[in-house]
């Protein structure tokens, strides 16, 4: 299926909440975040790992997440990210906004009944 402008906009608008939600569970590295978004969305939402990093850096600059380098024997060095208290607050706010939006969209367009 070809990616439409609407699909691109929805993906762009949901990137931060997806990342924050996964980091609310535990610390993760970029590849893990990308893989989990793909897996949990059933392949509907996919990100190339490299395309996530600008968002991760932006979230880190805003103080919503913190990153640290981890080296493990026999593995390459990876940057793990975790949610900060400010990030947890932002996640709560974004979840509330998305939930309100989805409910309103369903009332108007009957999305859940399609």
Quick one: pLDDT at residue 108? Answer: 94
- Residue scoring higher pLDDT (80 or 112): 80
Quick one: pLDDT at residue 74? Answer: 87
pLDDT surpasses 70 at 2: no
Domains of the chain (ranges; CATH) run 5-113 (1.10.10.10)
Quick one: pLDDT at residue 106? Answer: 92
Buried b (16+ CB within 10 A) or exposed e, 9-42: eebeebbbbbbbbbbeeebbbbebbbeebeeeee
Residues 106 and 22: their CA atoms lie apart, in Å, by 25
Quick one: pLDDT at residue 112? Answer: 77
Sheet containing 28-29: order of strands = 28-29, 78-83, 65-70
For residue 79, how many other CB atoms are within 10 A of its CB? 13
For residue 87, how many other CB atoms are within 10 A of its CB? 23
Residues 100 and 109: their CA atoms lie apart, in Å, by 14
pTM: 0.88
Quick one: pLDDT at residue 16? Answer: 96
The secondary structure of 42-84 as a DSSP string is: TTSS---HHHHHHHHHHHHHTTSEEEEEE--TTS--EEEEEE-
pLDDT surpasses 80 at 1: no
Residues 51 and 48: their CA atoms lie apart, in Å, by 5
Per-residue pLDDT reduced to its tens digit, 22-74: 999 999 999 999 999 999 999 999 988 888 999 999 999 999 999 999 998 88
């Amino acid at each position: 299926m070809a990616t439409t402008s609407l699909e691109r906009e929805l993906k762009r608008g949901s990137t931060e909440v997806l990342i924050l939600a996964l980091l609310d569970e535990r610390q993760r590295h970029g590849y893990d975040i990308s893989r989990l978004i793909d897996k949990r969305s059933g392949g509907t939402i996919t990100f190339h790992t490299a395309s996530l990093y600008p968002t991760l850096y932006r979230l880190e600059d805003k103080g919503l997440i913190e990153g640290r380098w981890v080296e493990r024997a026999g593995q390459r060095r990876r940057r793990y990210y975790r949610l900060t208290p400010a990030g947890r607050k932002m996640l709560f706010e974004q979840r509330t906004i998305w939930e309100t939006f989805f409910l309103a969209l369903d009332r108007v367009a009957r999305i859940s009944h399609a």
